[in-house]
Structure 1
Amino acid sequence: MDTNTSVRSQWNSFRRYVLGSVAEETTPMAPPLAPPKSKTFETSIERVESWPEEARPLKKHTWLSYLYGIGDLLLVLLPVYFILLGVATASLHGKPTNGNAFGKKVESAMNLGPTIFPIVFAAICGRSMKMIARYLVERGTKISTLELLMASQSVWGTFESQLLMQRLTVVGVNLLFLWALSPLGGQASLRLMSREHEASYSSIKLRYLTTGPAGAIFPIATGNLAGGKYAQAGALYNAALLAPQSVKLGPQDSWGNVKIPSLDAPNQSVPDTDGWIEVSRQVSVPETYTSLVGVPVAGLPSNASSNFTLEYNYMAVSCGPFKQELYPGTHGTNEPTSTNYTKLDEMIPGQIWSNKSDWELHPFDTLDGPASFLIDTTRDLARSPPTNQLDRDLYLGRLDGFAGHYNQSRLSESEKNTPRDLTFASVYGITKDGMTQGLNIATCTLLQHHVEAYVKCAGTQCAASKTRKSITDTRPNALTAFESFEILKNVAHKFPTAIKFTEGSSPTELFLANTSSFPFIQKAGRLYADVAQSSGYFGSLSNNLSAYGPDTLPVTDANVYLPANLSITEHSVFSWFTKFSQTIDQTNSAFLGATTTGNTTSTEEIFVCNVAWLALLLAASTVILITGSVGLILKRKTLGPEMFGFVTSMTYENPWLKIPQGGTMLDAMERARLLKDVEVHIADVRGDDDIGHIALASGIPLRKLERGRLYR
């Protein structure tokens, strides 16, 4: 009787009840010699609960199978997550990152991609390969194809199966390409989108303090209504003198206003073909700049880089050697008779302090407090009408020439190029007790320079990078706003007492004498303009550019405040001064603004979608979705039990396993659940024969595998 027959005959009587497998005792015949000790052993099988005893149809649907179906469907739909992720990154392309909450969520989802994608890929593709293998085997296929499909549960498994099969097939190549999408898709989900900076270019209108004729005449035009502005100017001037050294030498003042370098500043480069002179970045002396305060600019974007040019006018003086004289009396005693003012008039003649014996015209004991120096001019100036001034047309022609109106009957070519002289006189102590005093007297030449500055800004941090002579403002350098008696008088009266002191030289005078040793910065610019400016210097400028008046250039800035029948280049100053005063009396802006156009470069961080990685992710996700869908469809079309890839698959119709017959309609996992307590061995099922036979067995005599023994 063969083995199969013997196994069937042993189990025929146990169709209803499965007995445990017990080692059978046999009564050996008494041999003439003692037999060798047997090397076999035998395991027992207890009763298998719930084993199907009757035939069942295939694919019987239960609520559990429907639940598994829903799980399979959800698993197949997981690639849609990565497709939507790709769509989301594409929609974010070019969008700014600032305040984009959706973009941050997409980035968080991208970071999970390298972890989730390979897991989803393996779960769907590995399961689908089983479904395809089951479908094919029901219709007949090659074992090599089945092995490749069943081994394709991972990237390495797919590659290893090709090596072990020792052949390369079309199916194997396609499987390699399929599984190569797993790591590529994971990396693609991570590299879908990045952050980059995008520069956008635009033009903007800016307003800045005008230093043209309107800016110069503005103080006297509003002087009767704005006496308090001199106190503001004094505070501004005092604060500027007290600025730290880094601010003194920096490109901006304490309030963020850009300072303009002078044309004759030290360490300047050679002009280029357009006349531009590069400004040295290493500023060692305060005199590099035209003023200790800068030019306020309104409208600068805080989040962009910008560059623009502005027109600027500043005064420069060139002084001769000091002439020293004894002071006629004693200064600083508060006694009117302590100074011989008649003698002082002879020593320092001038137009501003013309009668120094007048109690209102004491130059060193002014109504605003003591002064240690004075400023004056020996030549007469243009005075407001009515006046019986000698040579009035000459001086009015000089003032008109400053404003840009040239009347040849009043202003000759020689007068146009003749600069005004200024007298600077300073009181100093000769003896320690201060009772003997002297005068330092110098004669200076006054010029006005018209420049154009090229300014670069990073946000509101600005610096003038180069300067040149103005190509739009061609007024003579010899004519300044100090051709006006009122303007020079205001400066001569207010500047020496701008900073209060009790004795000795004023801080202003000490600083002018030696800027290197004195811890304050020099005021080298338009003094009259500084006196007239309001709180606009102190920052917080409005971005409403219309608040700074109409658009204009400094050279013709007053024209925009005049009616169409008046022009500063066609009419004399006093013919339009009244109308100008009436117009600007109603001005509420911090200063009279000139207009320029700036070029801005705003750098914004944006999301950038990588098209190549996006295409790869969409392709990989689509392949997974299609593969999973095909596997799900084939699963529904497959009738046979699922037995591929399970250890229990080796129990189907295995003659070496003493288990109940039948159950072939069960899936491998169902059989595993029923046979979970059965102990099995891979062993020699013909242990007593000379040549062994290896099988997965249980419930029969077995022999352990031995090295050197022969097996079939």
Structure 2
Amino acid sequence: MDYSSVKTRDPPQDGVSDRLIKEDPSRQTTTLLKDEGARLPKRLGSADAILQFVLDISLTVPAVCFLTYGFMVLCNNGVPVNQSPIPALHMAAKYSPTLFPIAFSAIATNLLKATAAWRLEKGITILSLEYLLKCRNVFSAVTAPLSLQAVNLITPLLIVLWASSPLGGQAALRVMDTVPSTATESWPFEYLEFISPFRHTGASTSAGYEVMPSIQAAFAAALSSPMDAKTKAQDLFGNIKIPMVEHYQQSSQTSDLDGWYEVNTGPNTSPIWSSLIGLPATSLDGFSPGSNYSFKMETSYMSANCSTQHTLMKFNEWEQYRNSSIYHNNRNLALRYPVFPLSWATEPFRLIFTSWSRAKTTNATCILSQVYAEVDVGCYGSVCAPGRIRRIPKSENATVRTVLHQAAAEGSPYRGPAGVFFAYFETFVSSGLSLYDLQERQIKPFASAIETYFTEPSAPFSAAGISSWDGTDMSSIGDVVFSQRFSQLLNTFWLASVASRNVTGAFNFHDEFDDGTYRIVTQNATGTRTPDLLVMRVNGAWLSVLFVASVTMLVTGIFAAILGCLRRGPDVLDYSTFFFRDSPYVHIPPGKYRSMEDASDQVRRIRDIRVCIGDVDHTGDVGRLAFGSVDAAVPLRAQKAERYYV
């Protein structure tokens, strides 16, 4: 079959639908817009908006960090400065005055720019726009009203906003103080009761043979201690001395409303102590070096009120007087009493103290009483001192009957042996003799350390009269000083007698203080313990400033991110291209200007165009200045000094 004569069909032409599509105006416009790089306004859920929001919200991270820093400081209030995380917080505080203003400036500037861009799309006054763009730091916020010579409602708001920047930095630095710890806690204490049982019935008894060496050693150690130790608040073994409260009552010093007298233990003053040996005291932790302690002791002591007379007495007369006395040391000291002290006595006990010397013999009539006092003690580690003292009122019978009347501590069943008075004074008169004096030799009229303590308390065992055949003349000692020193000797020997082992260092918390003879009595007290530590203390005022400034920075960053999302138009503020958008004096090559383009993108595209503020009307008599491009398309001339411009 011949197909050559058959006509072929022409290629199909565009149909009606295709033609309508091509002629559709919207499709033609879309194609045109794509060719020209046009774009829709930024949408809230677009990728660009989300990216911008993430970038803006990331600026709030420093605010969150400073808020976290503030909360960590608050939570670690009172923590020792060398304990974690205080060193790290101090390190952060050092850099805060630098980092806080930088972070705040970045966030605040972003807010001002976002606010200006958002309000610019809604409509804003020139003054408000200028304030938002001009106030980018603390200095400009203050100087802007001066340079613009105008203010509006946002002026004080901007000043307050920027004031938060330096305040926040300083607050982060000053929010922590280093102070001594004041975290006190209740703490138990224990101390020796002065009215403890006497431990023997005489020097020649079995108990006396056992305890007298330690008693003699403790008493001699107290007498021979240096004057510095005698005047301090603690003895050589750390025992706490009790002041004589009657000394304060008889002085011009006044007490407070509760009867307390301040005890001054400074380097230039020294109280009158009731004894050369203090009361042993301890606490649950044994007075740790890293703590401060405070507690009160209720105690007592013997007080002697003496009246002295000084007469001449030959040595043979003295021998007769001494041998007729009840207690003497076979040398120059004798003691006697007119009335034997009964345990139910109601009259004060009188004791006659007599010391012979070739110059004058001293006769002192002393009335003994028991003084009860409460002492407020403070300790820095194991270094303790009484801070206050007051007298405890007692009945007359209680003060008349001393420990020598076989008195017992309140609430204690331990009274000690019978014959306390005899055993005490029998050993007391000989306790001041040296080992050389105690040897079986001929009788020598040498003074003992008890007598020389009245005249030379700093060194009684090496005083001038202790090895002299003339004895020790005490006629220069007044009644007040004699009474004080005799009281000290009586109380020192009493403490050495009832607790010789404990006053020389063996005193521990809740020990069984029983040496097989008579149990000593202890008293319990509840005081306070404060760690001797430097701790971090929060400065409340600066912490409040830090929180306010940090919250302001956080809220500022959040609002900046939100306003950035609400902006529909391009980002043009803060860019030089903003000045020549739609300007007739700026020549932009065709295809390089797009009104919806962000200024940053536009800068990259037209970065080689040169611009200048010059004369755009150079042909007239008066010039006109404008921002324009420097090229052949725009007749822009440089400014001249002799030309006028409008």
TM-score, with structure 2 as normaliser: 0.68
What residue is the counterpart of 2:369 in the other structure? 449
* 1:234-265, Cα deviation, whole Å (9 max, x unpaired): 44334333333333333432333333344675
| Deviation for aligned residue 1:525 | 2.3
Q: CA deviation at 1:494?
A: 4.3
Tell me the secondary structure at the aligned position of residue 537 of structure 1: coil
1: CA distance between counterparts of 2:99 and 2:445? 83
Residue 476 (structure 1) aligned to one of 400, 416, 427: 400
Alignment of 1:98-497 (within 5 A): 100-163=83-146, 165-194=148-177, 206-212=189-195, 214-217=196-199, 224=206, 227=209, 229-262=211-244, 268-269=250-251, 288-299=272-283, 302-313=291-302, 321=310, 324-326=313-315, 348-350=323-325, 373=332, 375=334, 377=336, 398=341, 401=343, 406=344, 419-421=350-352, 445=365, 447-459=367-379, 460-463=383-386, 465-466=388-389, 468=391, 471=394, 474=398, 476-477=400-401, 480=405, 484-497=421-434
Hey, what does 1:635 align to over in structure 2? 564
Could you tell me which residue of structure 1 aligns to residue 601 of structure 2? 670
User: What secondary structure does 2:376 align onto?
Assistant: strand
**What is the 5 A alignment of 1:35-74?**
55=37, 57=39, 70-74=54-58
Partner deviation per Cα, 1:187-211 (whole Å, 9 max, x = no partner): 4444545456786788765433333
Amino acid at match of 2:384: Q
Rounded to whole Å, the distance in 1 between the matches of 2:269 and 2:121 is: 96
Aligned counterparts of 1:273 and 1:143: Cα–Cα separation in 2: 73
* Superposition deviation, residue 344 in structure 1: 6.2
Cα gap change, 1:216 to 1:643, in 2 (>3 Å): same
The DSSP-based 3-state class of the residue aligned with 1:525 is helix
1:667-692 per-residue CA deviation (whole Å, 9 max, x = no partner) reads 32333344445443322244455443
Contact 2:96 2:172 in 1 (8 A): yes
Q: Secondary structure at the match of 1:640?
A: coil
Letter in 1 for 2:105: A
* CA pair 615-490 structure 1, distance change in 2 beyond 3 A: closer
Shift of 1:632: 1.8
Deviation at 1:91, TM superposition (A): 2.9
Which whole-Å CA distance do the structure 2 matches of 1:699 and 1:470 have between them?
A: 109
**1:174 to 1:298, Cα distance in 2 relative to 1, 3 A:** closer
Distance 1:85 1:279 in 2: 45
* Offset from partner CA, 1:50-89 (integer Å, 9 cap, x none): xx99526466999999877654332133211232233334
| Shift in Å, 1:501 | 9.0
Q: Which residue of 2 aligns with 1:644?
A: 573
Asked if 2 retains the 8 angstrom alpha-carbon contact of 1:155 and 1:180, the reply is yes
Q: Secondary structure of the equivalent of 2:613?
A: strand
2:489 maps to 524
Alpha-carbon spacing, 1:55–1:306, altered in 2? closer, same or farther (3 Å): same
* Structure 1 gap ranges (5+): 1-51, 329-342, 354-362, 365-371, 380-393, 429-437, 550-582
In structure 2, what is the Cα distance between the partners aligned to 1:132 and 1:273?
Answer: 67
Aligned sequence identity (%): 22
The secondary structure found in structure 2 opposite 1:215 is coil
Alpha-carbon contact 1:269-1:278 (below 8 Å) kept: no
Alpha-carbon spacing, 1:197–1:699, altered in 2? closer, same or farther (3 Å) = same
Q: 8 Å contact 2:432–2:448 — kept in the other structure?
A: no
Q: Secondary structure at the match of 1:175?
A: helix
* Secondary structure of the structure 2 residue equivalent to 1:303: strand
SS in 2 for 1:298: strand
Taking only aligned residues, the RMSD between alpha carbons, in angstroms, comes to 5.0
Contact 1:207 1:297 in 2 (8 A): yes
Q: Secondary structure at the match of 2:302?
A: strand
The one-letter code of the counterpart of 1:585 is G
Q: Distance in 2 between matches of 1:63 and 1:344?
A: 121
Show CA shifts across 1:555-587 (max 9, x none). xxxxxxxxxxxxxxxxxxxxxxxxxxxx76277
Q: Using the alignment, how far apart are the partners of 1:419 and 1:376 within structure 2?
A: 11
Partner Cα separation in structure 2 for residue 139 and residue 216 of structure 1: 101
- 1:583-598 equivalences under 5 Å are 585=516, 591-595=520-524
Helix, strand or coil at the partner of 1:536: coil
What one-letter code is carried by the residue in structure 1 that aligns with 2:645? Y
Q: d(CA) in 1 for partners of 2:258 and 2:584?
A: 106
With over 3 angstroms needed to count, the CA separation of the structure-2 counterparts of 1:289 and 1:117, relative to structure 1, is closer
Residues 230 and 68 (structure 1 numbering): CA distance in 2 closer, same or farther, change over 3 Å? farther
Q: Does residue 1:91 correspond to 2:75, yes or no?
A: yes
> Which residue, 478, 495, 499 being the options, matches 1:533?
499
Name the CA shift for 1:442/1:636 in 2 (closer, same or farther; >3 Å).
Answer: closer
Q: What amino acid is aligned across from residue 252 of structure 1 in structure 2?
A: Q
Give the SS at the match of 1:311: strand
Moved more, 498-507 or 166-175: 498-507
Distance across 1 between alignment mates of 2:167 and 2:597: 39
Paired residues in the alignment total 553
Q: Does structure 2 retain, via aligned residues, the 8 Å contact 1:499–1:506?
A: no
The amino acid across from 2:490 in the alignment is G
CA contact 1:292–1:525 (8 Å) conserved in 2? no
Shift of 1:150: 1.9
AA aligned opposite 2:385: C
| 2-structure distance, mates of 1:595, 1:229 | 26
Amino acid at match of 2:602: R
Whole-angstrom distance in 2 between the partners of 1:73 and 1:286: 69
CA contact (8 A) 1:133 1:146 kept: yes
Give the drift of 1:134: 2.4
Rounded to whole Å, the distance in 1 between the matches of 2:271 and 2:148 is 88
Find the residue that maps to 2:502 and give its secondary structure.
Answer: helix
Q: Distance in 1 between matches of 2:615 and 2:255?
A: 100
Q: CA deviation at 1:450?
A: 0.6
C-alpha spacing 1:100/1:277, structure 2 compared with 1 (3 Å):
closer
Q: Which SS does the other structure have where 1:705 is aligned?
A: coil
In structure 2, what is the equivalent of residue 569 of structure 1? none
Q: CA separation in 2, counterparts of 1:456 and 1:204? A: 15
Residue 78 of structure 1 aligns with which residue?
A: 62
Aligned-pair CA distance for 1:141: 4.2
Aligned equivalents of 1:499, 1:174: Cα separation in 2: 95
SS of aligned partner of 2:106:
helix
Give the Å deviation of 1:598.
5.6
The match for 2:511 is: 547
Distance 2:255 2:168 in 1: 57
Q: Distance in 1 between matches of 2:499 and 2:224?
A: 18
| Distance change >3 Å, CA 320–CA 155, structure 1 → 2 | closer
1:623 alignment partner AA? T
Q: For the residues of structure 1 that align with 2:642 and 2:575, how far apart are their CA atoms?
A: 30
For 2:66, give the aligned amino acid: F
Question: Distance between the aligned counterparts of 2:115 and 2:539, measured in 1?
Answer: 35
Residues 337, 350 of structure 2: 8 Å contact kept: no
Contact 2:274 2:301 in 1 (8 A): no
**Alignment partner, residue 696 of structure 1:** 628
SS at match of 2:449: helix
Residue 646 of structure 1 deviates from its aligned partner by: 1.5
TM-score normalised by length of structure 1:
0.63
Letter matched to residue 627 of structure 1: T
Q: Matches of 1:608 and 1:656 in 2, distance apart?
A: 65
